[in-house]
Structure 1
Amino acid sequence: MVWPTTVAELIEAQRALAVANPEPWRPGPLTVGGCFVCFPRGHTGIGAAGDPAWAAAVLLADGRRVGRYVVRATARGPYQAGLLALREGPLLEAAVRGLPRLPDVLLVNATGRDHPRRAGLAIHLGAELGVPTVGVTHRPLLATGEWPEPRAGAASPLFLEGELVGYWLRPRAAKRPIVVHPGWRVDPETALDVVRRCCARWRTPEPLRLARRAARTARARSG
């Protein structure tokens, strides 16, 4: 499958993904990946096609990093809410495919069913790669729900038009919660379990934290 290059093509693809019914994934022993893309320091606004970008992916097994890959490329479009795949999708796919192997599950800095057409980038990227995915963001896109209790590991549901589309999760006591989004082939409860496993030390799940650091380090070294 080729990434859409226009808004109309992306919307059509998102609508197809929203009604897809792939076999649910169930975790066993995990290799967990994370991917992240960053743009030039001080970058503000919606950006534009051609913006420099650094995309990184890491692979962890038993908590140890066993793979990392960074690619420098350019964005294919500006940021538009609900259309993030146009800007970041091909960059993240290239970074993940550069790993020594595909992960059992991939953490993505993007939404899943919390999306106007129920198919955010976390779902789209998983479908392109053929890999189960979980989205992790700092806040919901459209969904609503009360914050969880202030204890570590507490979670509370997020709903969009009556549908459970994710969870607030508080990885560390008294710290701001993050949002966990079920992605490709992953249900909300499984997504929550995966992210809890990856938040032993930090608020940001370790695979995403390491991917973010790798992307930003590459940006700094490029000057």
Structure 2
Amino acid sequence: MDWPTRVDAALALQQALRTQVHLCDEPELPRTVAGVDGGFVDNGATVRAAAVLLRLPDLQPVAQAVAYVPVRFPYVPSLLSFREAPAIIAALEQLGQRPDLVICDGQGLAHPRRFGLACHLGVYCDLPTIGCAKTRLIGQHEPLGNERGACTALMHEGEQLGWVLRTRSGVKPVYVSPGHRVSLARAANLVMACTTRYRLPEPTRLAHQVASGKTVSVPSDKQNSQ
């Protein structure tokens, strides 16, 4: 993809690509899942993106990769994929194994133009993707129960875009929305299947660690960087 560097071109691309999003489940449950996240180094001039591949259902890390790509797009809240996605895609390509599912620290359908980072990654890579964000970008919801697994619909303009999900009792919820090739109905269940004792699902929790310069314990021959 020739990534745009202007806001008007990025908006136009989002509008064009959103029609390619498919919210339908794969016939088989995923056996591997990759978490992805991006951070910034060089005083914000470079994206350091991480991808960590885990085995399902035991969530054992099996590979990790890091990619560095110069930032070529300004900071615009609803256009973050144009800053981070090129590096995240590069990290995914270095894993050495194509994941069955990708969970990203960002939005999927729960986006003003229904095309957040998870949608962009899913359409570009043709992979099932889910957005699991720490904060809400748009939408409203009913009160949420305090227990682990409590879930309520995230609504915007009369349309359900995702779920508000309590992954751990007594902690703030996460905001889950499908990106591509995952149904709205299954998205929250898949995130819960990837969650242990922490607020964040293991794939994105570990990816955040790696994107922050740390490492996770995976086979040494699977660790890559660029």
Question: How far off is 1:132 after superposition?
Answer: 0.7
Amino acid at match of 1:30: R
Question: How far off is 1:201 after superposition?
Answer: 2.0
Amino acid at match of 1:60: L
**In structure 2, what is the equivalent of residue 184 of structure 1?**
180
**1:160-188 deviations in Å (ceiling 9; x for gaps):** 11110011110111111111011112122
- In 2, Cα distance between equivalents of 1:111 and 1:81: 11
Question: How far off is 1:22 after superposition?
Answer: 3.3
Q: Which runs of 5+ in 2 are unaligned?
A: 216-226
- In 1, Cα distance between equivalents of 2:32 and 2:174: 22
**In structure 1, what is the equivalent of residue 29 of structure 2?**
28
User: Alpha carbon RMSD of aligned pairs, Å?
Assistant: 1.9
**In structure 2, what is the equivalent of residue 210 of structure 1?**
206
Aligned length: 212
Question: How far off is 1:23 after superposition?
Answer: 6.9
CA 1:187–1:23: 2 relative to 1, 3 Å: closer
- In 2, Cα distance between equivalents of 1:2 and 1:101: 24
SS in structure 1 opposite 2:2?
Answer: coil
Question: How far off is 1:9 after superposition?
Answer: 2.4
2:118 alignment partner, one of 117, 122, 127: 122
Amino acid at match of 2:34: G
- In 1, Cα distance between equivalents of 2:88 and 2:33: 15
Amino acid at match of 2:25: W
- In 1, Cα distance between equivalents of 2:204 and 2:197: 13
Matched, 1:14 2:14: yes
SS in structure 2 opposite 1:82?
Answer: helix
Question: How far off is 1:53 after superposition?
Answer: 2.3
Task: Report the TM-score when normalising by structure 1.
Answer: 0.88
- In 2, Cα distance between equivalents of 1:76 and 1:108: 21
Greater relative CO (CA pairs within 8 A, separation 6+) = 2
**In structure 1, what is the equivalent of residue 40 of structure 2?**
39
SS in structure 1 opposite 2:151?
Answer: strand
* Contact 2:37–2:49 (Cα < 8 Å) also in 1: yes
Matched, 1:4 2:4: yes
Return 21-30 or 91-100, whichever deviates more: 21-30
Amino acid at match of 1:16: A
- In 2, Cα distance between equivalents of 1:23 and 1:141: 20
Q: Which runs of 5+ in 1 are unaligned?
A: none
CA 1:23–1:216: 2 relative to 1, 3 Å: closer
Matched, 1:167 2:163: yes
- In 2, Cα distance between equivalents of 1:52 and 1:24: 35
* Contact 1:4–1:86 (Cα < 8 Å) also in 2: yes
**1:163-216 deviations in Å (ceiling 9; x for gaps):** 100111101111111110111121222111110001122111000011111111
* Contact 2:23–2:179 (Cα < 8 Å) also in 1: no
- In 2, Cα distance between equivalents of 1:12 and 1:4: 10
Question: How far off is 1:20 after superposition?
Answer: 2.7
* Contact 2:69–2:86 (Cα < 8 Å) also in 1: no
Return 13-22 or 53-62, whichever deviates more: 13-22
- In 1, Cα distance between equivalents of 2:99 and 2:21: 21
- In 2, Cα distance between equivalents of 1:199 and 1:147: 22
2:48 alignment partner, one of 45, 54, 70: 54
- In 1, Cα distance between equivalents of 2:30 and 2:111: 30
Amino acid at match of 1:124: H
1:111 alignment partner, one of 84, 107, 111: 107
- Percent of pairs with identical residues: 37
CA 1:188–1:39: 2 relative to 1, 3 Å: same
1:154 alignment partner, one of 150, 153, 171: 150
**In structure 2, what is the equivalent of residue 97 of structure 1?**
93
Question: How far off is 1:147 after superposition?
Answer: 4.0
